[in-house]
């Protein structure tokens, strides 16, 4: 059986990264990781196409990669997949003739078969697969993402995800459990549950299935932390919060709730799937989990966001004191309902408002992290620091991978993939420094 050297570039969110892991796992033992295009038999780019900057980045990466391949002999085939392909399809084929194969998201399972065809046509190579596909984990050794559903049934007026990835389709519980067990068998200590809306799991089958899934995941051997990302406010009701409180560890009280705004008029215009005051959402979480770490995202500069409506958002951020917060300027995405709304705002206004919120959040983050100085916390170690021997990058329970700050940790027993106890010696605006 011939090996296939694959160089992979995976862009965008963790859900996309999981797709990449399944595609690479589909090669079975024929897969060999290629460090660069010059070492590859095939180059795979998994794109993001959610918002304008992601589209621009994906296109630039494709062009740069095609240019790097042009001088190679033999030239590795270039395969492009992901949200950009599912969003723009035929237009990409016309604009990017350098790409050998475009693969829509729903056809990613065909990758091995299509690569066989490309390599056979180029030089007659034969690629076999000798066992059923399984994910090839590409995250740091301490954690893995666990995707529990695909698509979304919410109809937020600014969002293109339902048109790109389709309606909500929950994975079968048995498949998720098998996936989780394989991740834990490989030494992962943290599972990060992801979907477009984790709280909607099972709704496409007329079930409220999230609780049953969590009850089966929680006792799995080797699981230290179970983190839930993308919790829509509408699904985070008292019943679920009560259940999570009673569930206890390995569930950790980290709540990622994409609120998007705080003014009721903007929320209504956005078509957000809840009508409560976001202050009530925050207060309810803290009623059940007084020490919860809260993360959210906001969109600023949405059509009709007057200075008064923005001031309401600013006041909410000041009062709610989120531990982590992301802000995006509004982008009028092609095909979204919001793109044709009146009262669109200038880009300069959007950027200025984003900077105001992030400046405020930096102050809040610094104050919240300062409270942990001198505390002893568990730190899950992700990787060695690139520049300082003996220093490692890790995370506490209130730091999600790849989106929050990190904990710089050192000590005799500190190694990637290990959970260590460490004393917080210094706090910064977003990061911690610890000694194990």
Output the 3-class SS for 37-104. Answer: HHHCCEEEEEECCCCHHHHHHHHHHHHHHHHHHHCCCCCCCEEEEEHHHHHHHHHHHHHCCCCCEEEC
Domain boundaries for CATH 2.40.50.140 within the chain: 376-435
Q: Compute the mean pLDDT over every residue in the chain, rounded to the nearest whole number.
A: 94
pLDDT band at 242 (very low <50, low <70, confident <90, very high): very high
Q: Which tens digit of pLDDT belongs to each residue from 95-120?
A: 999 999 999 999 999 998 898 888 88
Q: For residue 155, what pLDDT is reported?
A: 86
pLDDT band at 160 (very low <50, low <70, confident <90, very high): confident
Mean pLDDT, to the nearest integer, of 353-382?
98
Q: Tell me which architecture the domain covering 376-435 has in CATH.
A: Beta Barrel (2.40)
Domain boundaries for CATH 3.40.50.12160 within the chain: 4-123
pLDDT-above-90 percentage for the chain: 84
Determine the Cα–Cα distance for residues 34 and 40; give it in Å rounded to an integer.
5
Q: For residue 5, what pLDDT is reported?
A: 93
Decide if pLDDT at 129 tops 80. Answer: no
Decide if pLDDT at 124 tops 80. Answer: no
Q: For residue 3, what pLDDT is reported?
A: 84
Q: For residue 2, what pLDDT is reported?
A: 77
**Domain topology for 143-370:** pyruvate-formate lyase- activating enzyme (3.80.30)
Mean pLDDT, to the nearest integer, of 220-249?
96
Q: For residue 128, what pLDDT is reported?
A: 60
Residue 248 DSSP code: -
pLDDT-above-70 percentage for the chain: 97
H or E segment and range at residue 326: strand 324-329
CATH number of 4-123: 3.40.50.12160
Q: Where are the beta strands (DSSP E) in 148-250?
A: 149-150, 169-170, 190-194, 225-228
pLDDT band at 275 (very low <50, low <70, confident <90, very high): low
pLDDT band at 182 (very low <50, low <70, confident <90, very high): very high
Mean pLDDT, to the nearest integer, of 129-146?
87
Q: Which of 127-141, 177-191, 323-337, 369-383 has the lowest mean pLDDT?
A: 127-141
pLDDT band at 130 (very low <50, low <70, confident <90, very high): low
């Amino acid at each position: 059986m011939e090996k296939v050297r694959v160089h992979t570039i995976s862009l965008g969110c963790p859900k996309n990264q999981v797709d990449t892991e399944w595609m690479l796992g589909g090669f079975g033992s024929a897969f060999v990781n290629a460090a660069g295009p010059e070492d590859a038999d095939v180059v795979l780019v998994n794109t993001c196409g959610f918002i304008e900057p992601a589209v621009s980045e994906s296109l630039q990466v494709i062009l740069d990669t095609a240019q790097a391949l042009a001088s190679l002999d033999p030239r590795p085939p270039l395969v492009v997949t992901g949200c950009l392909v599912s969003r723009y399809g035929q237009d990409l084929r016309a604009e990017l003739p350098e790409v050998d194969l475009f693969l829509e998201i729903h056809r990613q399972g065909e990758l091995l078969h299509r690569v066989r065809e490309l390599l056979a046509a180029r030089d007659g190579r034969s690629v076999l697969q000798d066992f059923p596909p399984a994910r090839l984990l590409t995250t740091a050794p301490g954690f893995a993402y666990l995707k529990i559903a695909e698509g979304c049934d919410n109809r937020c007026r600014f969002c293109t995800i339902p048109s790109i990835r389709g309606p909500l389709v929950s994975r079968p519980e048995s498949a998720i459990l098998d996936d989780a067990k394989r991740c834990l068998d490989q030494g992962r200590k943290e599972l990060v549950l992801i979907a477009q809306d984790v709280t909607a799991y099972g709704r496409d089958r007329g079930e409220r299935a999230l609780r049953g899934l969590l009850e089966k995941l929680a006792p799995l051997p080797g699981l230290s932390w179970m983190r839930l990302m993308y919790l829509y406010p509408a699904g985070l009701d008292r019943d679920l919060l009560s259940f999570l409180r009673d569930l206890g560890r390995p569930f950790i009280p980290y709540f990622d709730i994409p609120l998007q705004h705080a003014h009721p008029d903007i929320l209504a215009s956005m078509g957000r799937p809840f009508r409560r005051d976001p202050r009530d959402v925050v207060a309810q979480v803290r009623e059940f989990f007084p020490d919860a770490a809260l993360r959210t995202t906001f969109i600023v500069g949405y059509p009709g966001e007057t200075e008064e409506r923005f001031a309401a958002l600013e006041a909410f951020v000041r009062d709610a004191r989120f531990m982590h917060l992301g802000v995006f300027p509004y982008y009028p995405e092609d095909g979204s309902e919001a793109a044709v709304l009146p009262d669109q705002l200038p880009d300069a206004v959007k950027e200025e408002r984003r900077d105001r919120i992030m400046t405020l959040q930096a102050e809040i983050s610094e104050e919240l992290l300062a409270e942990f100085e001198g505390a002893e916390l568990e730190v899950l170690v992700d990787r060695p620091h690139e520049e300082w021997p003996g220093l490692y990058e890790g995370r506490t329970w209130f730091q999600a991978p790849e989106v929050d700050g990190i904990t710089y940790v050192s000590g005799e027993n500190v190694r990637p993939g290990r959970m260590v106890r460490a004393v917080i010696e210094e706090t910064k605006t977003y990061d911690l420094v610890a000694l194990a």
